[in-house]
Amino acid sequence: MSWRLSTTSARSTRAVARDLGASLEPGTVLALNGDLGAGKTTFVQGLAEGLDVIEGSQVLSPTYTLVNEYPGSRVTLVHIDFYRLDCADAARALGIDEQVLRRDAVVAIEWAERLPELLPPSTVTIYIELGAGDARTLEVTGIERP
């Protein structure tokens, strides 16, 4: 199952992610794909609001930390970035494979397509395509539209 929608601002991408986040159960893995500046981190900011873990604006890119964790009352958000990982073994050496499979958390992974072998079969994929200006198209596979 797959659905698409368009947004015209960072704010509307965050709103889409917020609505999705409100319905997500722990153990869900979200793969976020799309070019630099597409809006993957922006999407996770909305997700954080929907999961009620933290004020969305406090979500920072895990480009250098690789994994950021935001504990919440209902569910924890684990935010991972595969961008700087060269191979699955490098990720395993850092224990990131285990973070991906956390049962107590919603796990959102930027650049997930770089290491598909670390993703469970149930992974929900979100591809964000850059359009002109602030236009983006989101294609979501693996979960129904909320």
Per DSSP, the three-state class of 89 is helix
Q: Which residue is nearest to ligand ADP (CB)?
A: 39
Interacting residue with Mg ion among 40, 79, 114, 136 (CB under 5 A): 40
Closest approach of Cβ 95 to Mg ion, in Å? 21
Cα torsion angle, 39, 40, 42, 47, sign: positive
| Cβ neighbours of 127 (radius 10 Å) | 18
Interacting residue with ligand ADP among 52, 69, 129, 134 (CB under 6 A): 134
From residue 49 to residue 68, the character string flagging contacts with ligand ADP as x (rule: CB under 6 A) and all else as - is ------------x-------
Between CA 91 and CA 66 the distance in angstroms is 10
If one asks whether residue 18 binds Mg ion (CB under 5 A), the answer comes out as no
For residue 92, what are the contacts with CB-CB under 8 A and spacing of at least 6? none
Between CA 43 and CA 102 the distance in angstroms is 20
Q: Are 106 and 75 in contact (CB under 8 A)?
A: yes
From residue 54 to residue 73, the character string flagging contacts with Mg ion as x (rule: CB under 5 A) and all else as - is -------x------------
Output 40 or 114, the one with its CB closest to ligand ADP.
40
* DSSP classification of residue 142: S
Interacting residue with ligand ADP among 28, 33, 42, 125 (CB under 6 A): 42
Binding site for ligand ADP (CB under 6 A): 7-10, 13, 34, 36-42, 61, 110, 134, 136
